[in-house]
């Protein structure tokens, strides 16, 4: 048994290295920024006027719902590295080869992300409002939490599948996810009630599995229709979904809403911070149906609007926006890295300093403390 496990581990590592090398050698060309679009106000105007918006969402839109993201310092992979030291690497938890070899770690963990425990965020509801307004071309989601369905988003492609269905790996019998709910919550491997032999796997796309024809067919049609592309809460690390921004016409404006900038992707406008807080500010700036949506969301969850008043009829937000470069604005929750020697914002791994903006956002008056930001720039991580 030990020899079998070692053989699997070695073959898994070899395949992983080959996959990484293939990705490095096959990177898409860097996207050129459009000079016309730069500011938060430009982003708001695009949301107000565009009619065929393609939105690519990642785990960042569900963090406020209580679902951890995958790749942040406190995300799922960081925890798996500590909690499951026997995994070849944290991503093996969601690798089909490892699941077939040993499904127990996945079932031990799956209860944390099992649907039915969470409610959609303001980001999900914002996308739904765009759909109601006939502005949404498609929502391509990398998430498996089914929150798009709960938010009633209809024009959605679940790129990596979802927890709504499950399949027996032995006899291919299909089941509603409720069939395995008791097993998931009890942290035991679910076996097929039909063949009594096979392990049941939720219909989420694991590493090593193809996304299927639906994704490719839909994207082939949508790439020529889109007039605005927005990436929300995604690190764009997983192919082929990460290639979507590079698949559309180069004259289509693109917006990134994320906690941190991405080294592999250059958007025209970068709004960096907690996704939900940025979306809230966009709702305030858009007014009308979006301001009503925000008020309903806050009333539903008992929130208070950060002590800052806003007017539904106003086209501009009253919140302070810290514009740190031509096309990059930061909001509470942004994570940026600063090189003290060059005085430049840069990517992680090349230095030791980090800005975490929400520590220096004054909730009482909605203003950033620039002194506080400078002070943190000089503070080692």
Residues of each annotated binding site for Zn(2+):
168, 171, 192, 195
Q: Residues with Cβ < 8 Å from 191, sequence gap 6 or more?
A: 197, 198, 199, 200
R_g of the chain computed on alpha carbons: 22
Coil, strand or helix at 90 = helix
Q: Sign (positive/negative) of CA torsion 329, 332, 335, 338?
A: positive
Q: In this structure, is residue 294 part of a structural domain?
A: yes
DSSP string, 6-71: HHHHHHHHHHHHHHHHHHHHTPPPPPPPPTT--SHHHHHHHHHH-SSEEEEE-GGGTGGGT---SS
Whether 160 is a known active-site residue: answer yes
- Virtual torsion, Cα 135, 303, 310, 292, nearest 10 deg: 40
- 3-state SS, residue 365: coil
The two three-digit tokens of residue 248, written as one number: 């559309």
CA 314 to chain centre: 30
Q: Enumerate the β-bridge partners of residue 165.
A: 176
Q: How high is the pLDDT of residue 300? A: 73
> Which residues are 136's β-sheet partners?
53
pLDDT confidence of residue 342: 54
pLDDT at 161: 93
Cα 195 from Cα 169, distance rounded (Å)? 10
User: 316 is in which domain, residue-wise?
Assistant: 33-67+119-160+212-328
Residue 232 lies in a domain: yes
CB contact at 8 A, 208 and 95: yes
Q: What is the number of domains present in the chain?
A: 1
- Is residue 135, in this structure, part of any structural domain at all? yes
pLDDT at 251: 97
Say what the pLDDT of residue 117 is: 87
Phi, psi torsion values for 356, nearest 5 degrees:
-120, 95
DSSP 346-381: E-TTS-SBEEEGGGGEETTTTEE-HHHHHHHHTSB-
Contact 204, 161 (CB under 8 A): yes
CA 64 to chain centre: 12
Nearest CA among 215, 264, 261, 265 for reference residue 240:
215
**Domain presence at residue 322:** yes
| 285: in domain | yes
**64/12 Cα distance (integer angstroms):** 34
DSSP reduced 3-state for 230: strand
238 in a structural domain: yes
Q: How far is CA 320 from the centre of its chain?
A: 25
Interatomic CA distance for residues 67 and 150, integer angstroms: 15
Among residues 160, 191, 362, 363, which one is catalytic?
160
* 253 falls within a domain: yes
Across the chain, which distance is largest between two alpha carbons, in Å? 69
Q: Tell me the C-alpha to C-alpha distance, in Å, between residue 348 and each of 112, 115, 233, 338, 381.
A: 29, 33, 18, 9, 11
Residue 26's pLDDT is 52
Residue corresponding to tokens 């039915």: 116
CATH of the domain at 298: 3.40.50.1220
Question: Is the C-alpha dihedral spanning 304, 306, 311, 313 positive or negative?
Answer: negative
How far, in Å, are 88, 170, 257, 326 from residue 272 at the CA level?
A: 33, 45, 6, 13
Q: Is residue 144, in this structure, part of any structural domain at all? A: yes
Enumerate the known binding-site residues.
168, 171, 192, 195
Q: What is the pLDDT along the chain (381 residues), one digit of tens a residue?
A: 445 555 555 554 554 444 444 444 455 678 899 999 999 999 999 999 999 999 999 999 998 898 877 666 666 777 777 777 777 777 788 899 999 999 998 998 898 888 888 999 999 999 999 999 999 999 999 999 999 999 999 999 999 998 899 999 999 999 999 999 999 999 999 999 999 999 999 999 998 998 888 899 999 999 999 999 999 999 998 889 999 999 999 999 999 999 989 988 999 999 998 999 999 999 999 999 999 999 998 877 655 444 444 444 443 444 556 777 789 988 877 776 555 455 555 554 433 444 444 333 444 444 444 444 444 444 433
**Do residues 121 and 39 lie in contact, with contact meaning Cβ atoms separated by under 8 Å?**
no
Per DSSP bridges, beta strands 354-356 and 136-141 are unpaired
Cβ neighbors of 188 (< 8 A, separation 6 or more) are 107
pLDDT score, position 358: 38
The residues that bridge with 230 in the sheet, in sequence order, are: 55, 255
| The predicted structure's pLDDT at residue 326 | 85
């Amino acid at each position: 048994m030990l020899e079998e496990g070692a053989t699997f581990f070695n073959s898994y590592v070899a395949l992983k290295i080959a996959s990484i090398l293939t990705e490095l050698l096959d990177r898409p060309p860097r996207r050129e920024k459009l000079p016309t679009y730069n500011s938060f106000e430009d982003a708001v105007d695009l949301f107000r006027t565009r009619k065929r918006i393609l939105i690519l969402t990642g785990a960042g839109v569900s963090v406020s719902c209580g679902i951890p993201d995958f790749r942040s310092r406190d995300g799922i992979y960081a925890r798996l590295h500590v909690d499951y030291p026997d995994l070849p690497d944290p991503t093996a938890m969601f690798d089909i080869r490892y699941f077939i070899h040993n499904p127990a770690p996945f079932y031990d963990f799956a209860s944390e992300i099992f649907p039915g425990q969470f409610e959609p965020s303001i980001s999900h509801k914002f996308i739904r409002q765009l759909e109601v307004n006939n502005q949404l071309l498609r929502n391509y989601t990398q998430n498996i939490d089914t929150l798009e369905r709960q938010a009633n988003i209809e024009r959605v492609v679940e790129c990596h599948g979802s927890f709504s269905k499950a399949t027996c790996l032995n006899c291919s019998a299909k089941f509603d996810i409720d069939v395995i709910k008791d097993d998931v919550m009890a942290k035991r491997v679910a076996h097929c009630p039909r063949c009594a032999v096979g392990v049941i796997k939720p219909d989420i796309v694991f590493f090593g599995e193809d996304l299927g024809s639906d994704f490719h067919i839909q994207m082939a049609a949508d790439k020529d229709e889109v007039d605005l592309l927005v990436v929300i809460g995604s690190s764009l690390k997983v192919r082929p979904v990460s290639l979507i921004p590079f698949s559309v016409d180069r004259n289509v404006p693109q917006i990134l809403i994320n906690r941190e900038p991405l080294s592999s992707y250059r958007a025209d406008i970068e709004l960096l911070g907690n996704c939900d807080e940025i979306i809230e500010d966009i709702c305030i700036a858009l007014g009308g149906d979006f301001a009503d949506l925000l008020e309903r969301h806050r009333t539903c969850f008992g929130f208070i609007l950060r002590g800052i008043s806003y007017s539904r009829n106003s086209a501009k937000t009253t919140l302070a926006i810290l514009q740190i470069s031509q096309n990059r604005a930061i909001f509470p929750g942004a994570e940026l890295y600063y090189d003290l020697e060059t005085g430049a914002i840069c990517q992680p791994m090349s230095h030791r300093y980090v800005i975490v903006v929400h520590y220096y956002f004054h909730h009482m008056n909605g203003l950033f403390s620039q002194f506080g930001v400078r002070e943190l720039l000089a503070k080692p991580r």
